Chain A
Amino acid sequence: MYTLKFDENLCATCQTSDCLVKCQFMDMESEAAHREMMKIVKGEYSSVLHDCKTCYACEEYCPRGNHPFYLITERREEKGMLTASRAITNQWINMCEPQGKYKVGEIKGKALSCCFIGELRRFARGKLFEDLRSSYILGPEFFCEVVYLHFAKPSIIKERLPKVIENIKQLGIKQLICMHDECYGSFTSLAPAYGMEVPFEPIHYFEYLFEKLTDLKGQIRPLKMKAAYQRPCSSRLSPDKYHFVGKIFDLIGVEMVKREYQEENALCCGEVLRMVAGYEVANEVQKKNIDDMVLSKAEYCVFNCPYCEMALSEKVSKKGIKPIHIIDLCKMAIGEK
């Protein structure tokens, strides 16, 4: 049985309570934040359990790596609290249940993980992926399970993630290029937080892209464009990889526009917010985010997560900003798009 590796003392002695003080959805001073966090630590009811919008940001804000958001999720489930409706929660649990329908390519020691998102498989074409395209995994059997944090169902994660890890191990994969940011977060943050061993090396696709682009430097034609970057919620689980966005942009001649809602202050895409917190909150977040992009004169909005892309593409287009996934952006830079 997997339990969350959480150190009470780290919270008890925390001077800043950044997890809740910095929260974009709750307005708390340090003292109140500490008080509420300690309630959660002790398993008591806290308004935070009701008000948390599941944006994952506190996982990054916590300076001590003590997994405040995973704890909130655990407490929610212990108390039978739902974020989204029962029906929607069950829908997602059913939707991603492994059913023996998956695809595995010709696996070499290194493989691409496309999670269960077909779009990621389609992205894996061209010079950037020619060595690895045929070595891939795709399907619910390889799903990262992170989404169940949104639905306050860590039990599903604890049940399914070990099997996912085992499935990957059985294929003999030593290095897994995670095409889905969330998968990387799953194997490097979520799994270890629950004491699950990960017997392969997860590699963030940003890192892979940067290496490939460096090899193909001679073929890069600088794009000379201004772009806003849409940082997904899952990126909060792997903040150490964020710098690759800037490095890739520099390499391909894209200027990341300075805007209010970026880096630590980034806003999530809002669609999951719609399911867990409602219409008004989601719309407000999306409006703030997109208005910010417009104000900063972004020509493009660059996506990392396909779900963010689905959530915001049409909305940014309506404001005259072209949506593009970072992989397509890189392909553009080497003349493939």
Chain B
Amino acid sequence: MIDIHKSLVEIMGDEHVSTGKEELYFYARDPGLMPAHEPDYVVAPETTEEVQKIVKLANKEKIPIVPMGAGMSLTGLIIPLKGGIVIDMKRMRRILEVNEKARYAIVEGGTSQGALKAYLDRNYPNLRHSIPDAPPTVTIAANVAIHGQGRLTQMYGFNSDMVSGLEVVLPTGEIAKIGSCSMSPSWFSKGPTLPDLSGLFLGWLGTTGIITKVGLKLYPKKKMRDVELFVTDREDLIPEILFRLTHTEMVEDITAWFQAKPLIFQGNHHVTLYITGDTDEELEFKRKMVWDSLKEFRDSKDGGFMWILPAMKPTFLDMPQRSVTTFADVKKGGGFEYSGPIALIEKYPVLARKLVELGAKFKVAYSGMARVIGRSHAMMFGIAFTFNRADPDMMERVRKALHEGITFAFDQGGIPWKPTVEEQKMAMERMDPNTLKLMKMIKENLDPNGIMNPGNWKVA
């Protein structure tokens, strides 16, 4: 009978392996609402080779493994539903390479968004990546693995669309290179023009392998960045507003959002949009295009641009935006969770109305937000509630509100984003049976022993 703990210590050293009650407690849960489930071991490897050894051991002994970044998906994706080994990837946090002319970076499986941003700011000030508003600790690998979105999503798609290569440790322990890096020293493509195998690992919630390296596309960073805020009291106008803004092709990120408090936001829908430029002329030209694109709404008084006071601007220009995180403490309770279905933008009004209804029905504080994906190809509609962690009744009400919200979103033709186990089941119930068959086939072939984050994307 193999001593798993001893084997893990041999791989990583005893400082980075724990079976302590404290680690088991902490890594059994995330800051969202999903029920906890303890792992048996928590480890923090530093190299791909260490990860490989852990996976081989787990595969041999049929122990579940759950890779995790910062654990901020809030939907329980890193909760080890069947126990086993939680692999905290964050010690693997180096930035390995930046190819300035080809505009890509290669980072490790635990490199944080914040570290990459800071590194680029200091060393490549003309390059940026699509940073999400999640806390800066969230990892690049986890973010692309769950098809996250960021500040460049309106321009270039999901953050996973910006992957330019992967190194993965397969559930059976092999290390595979995905994309151009599989046959070239350069990481400029995640698949095309080879068969695109990245799809085997992106969106699978850690059930098909562990990403140990990510190639990530970088984009031009202009010297100046500014923000405009268009406000309307008519949610039904939002789709058209977003359509016209995206038509200009002048805008960086576009989000539409609404919340009941504070009073300054009450009753209105806000479209925050960012423009960038290397010169005043470029910036002002883009600003003019943006203002002109919404002239009809301004003239009819259906909407107008808000004066963002200098004291407010840093909050909007912050990357990541800290106010997204501090929403968690609105109820002085350190909790928030959201469902973020991806849907057609034309569904914004009906989803917005639903969210307000849910807030009233369940007496919970809400915040609604939609991030435009691509040129209005879709939106991520965030159904977010904040709760007090010390109030179990409030937490239960939020759970119910989220369930009702996501069900409604699916009814409106939406698809889930970083779904909870329950949401995964709901999605699979609605899915084409052949699609499900394909998913099952892929999982069973890649992970014959079913060790990778079991319980997730569990096709019946």
Contacts and interface: CB of A to CB of B under 8 A. Distances in A.
A and B touch in the complex (CB under 8 A): yes
Given A85-B231, A279-B291, A310-B310, A94 B263 contact: yes
A239 B301 CA distance: 33
Contacts of A84: 301, 304
A332 interface: no
Interface in A61-107: 82, 84-88, 90-91, 94-95, 97, 99
Contacts of B1: none
Interface in B286-344: 287-288, 291, 297-298, 301-307, 309-311
B301 A91 contact: no
A181 interface: no
Contacts of B311: 310
B232 interface: yes
B263 A314 contact: no
Interface in A260-276: 271-272, 274-275
A335 interface: no
B2 interface: no
B264 interface: yes
Contacts of A279: 287-288, 291, 305
Contacts of A91: 231, 264-265, 268, 306
A222 interface: no
A97 B302 contact: no
B264 A87 contact: no
What size tier do the contact residues of chain B reach? Answer: 20 to 34
A90 B233 contact: yes
Nearest to A82: B301
B305 A274 contact: yes
Nearest to B309: A310
A278 B268 contact: no
A271 B268 CA distance: 21
A90 B267 CA distance: 8
Interface in B245-280: 263-269
Contact of A87 (B231, B291, B307, B309): B231
Contacts of A274: 305, 307
Contact of B267 (A94, A99, A272): A94
Given A82-B301, A275-B304, A87 B233 contact: yes
Contacts of B267: 87, 90, 94
Given A85-B231, A90-B267, A94-B267, A275 B301 contact: no
Given A97-B263, A275-B304, A310-B310, A87 B288 contact: no
Contacts of B298: 85, 278
A49 to B, nearest CB: 14
B263 A95 contact: yes
Interface-centre pick from A82, A97, A310, A314 (highest chain B CB count, 10 A): A310
A85 B310 contact: no
Interface string B220-255: 000000000001110000000000000000000000
Interface string A87-129: 1101100110101000000000000000000000000000000
Given A90-B267, A94-B263, A95-B264, A275 B303 contact: no
B305 A86 contact: no
A275 B307 contact: yes
Contact of A88 (B269, B304, B309): B304
A86 B298 CA distance: 10
A88 B298 CA distance: 11
Contacts of B303: 85, 87
A279 B294 CA distance: 12
Interface-centre pick from A97, A99, A278, A314 (highest chain B CB count, 10 A): A278
Nearest to B299: A278
A88 B263 CA distance: 12
A120 to B, nearest CB: 14
Given A90-B268, A310-B309, A85 B232 contact: yes
A126 B115 CA distance: 43
Interface of A, secondary structure class, is helix
A213 to B, nearest CB: 28
Interface residues of A, number: 21
B310 A86 contact: no
A322 to B, nearest CB: 16
A95 B265 CA distance: 8
Interface string A119-151: 000000000000000000000000000000000
Nearest to A313: B310
Nearest to A271: B307
A99 B263 contact: yes
A308 B264 CA distance: 21
Contact of A86 (B233, B287, B309): B233
A7 to B, nearest CB: 32
Contacts of A95: 263-264
Contacts of B307: 271-272, 274-275
Contacts of A90: 233, 266-268
B310 A94 contact: no
Nearest to B267: A90
Nearest to B288: A279
Interface string A313-330: 110000000000000000
A255 B303 CA distance: 43
Nearest to A272: B307
Contacts of B310: 310, 313-314
Contacts of B305: 88, 274-275, 279
Interface string A11-32: 0000000000000000000000
A86 B301 CA distance: 6
A97 B261 CA distance: 13
Interface-centre pick from A82, A84, A99, A314 (highest chain B CB count, 10 A): A84
Interface-centre pick from A91, A94, A275, A279 (highest chain B CB count, 10 A): A91
Nearest to B310: A310
A272 B304 CA distance: 12
A281 to B, nearest CB: 12
Contacts of B309: 310
Contacts of B231: 85, 87-88, 91
Nearest to A84: B304
B176 to A, nearest CB: 52
Nearest to A99: B263
B302 A85 contact: yes
Interface string A144-160: 00000000000000000
26 contacts: A84-B304, A85-B231, A85-B232, A85-B297, A86-B233, A87-B231, A87-B232, A87-B233, A87-B268, A87-B302, A88-B231, A88-B305, A91-B268, A94-B263, A94-B264, A94-B267, A97-B263, A271-B307, A274-B305, A274-B307, A275-B305, A275-B307, A278-B291, A278-B298, A279-B288, A279-B305
Interface of B: 231-233, 263-269, 287-288, 291, 297-298, 301-307, 309-311
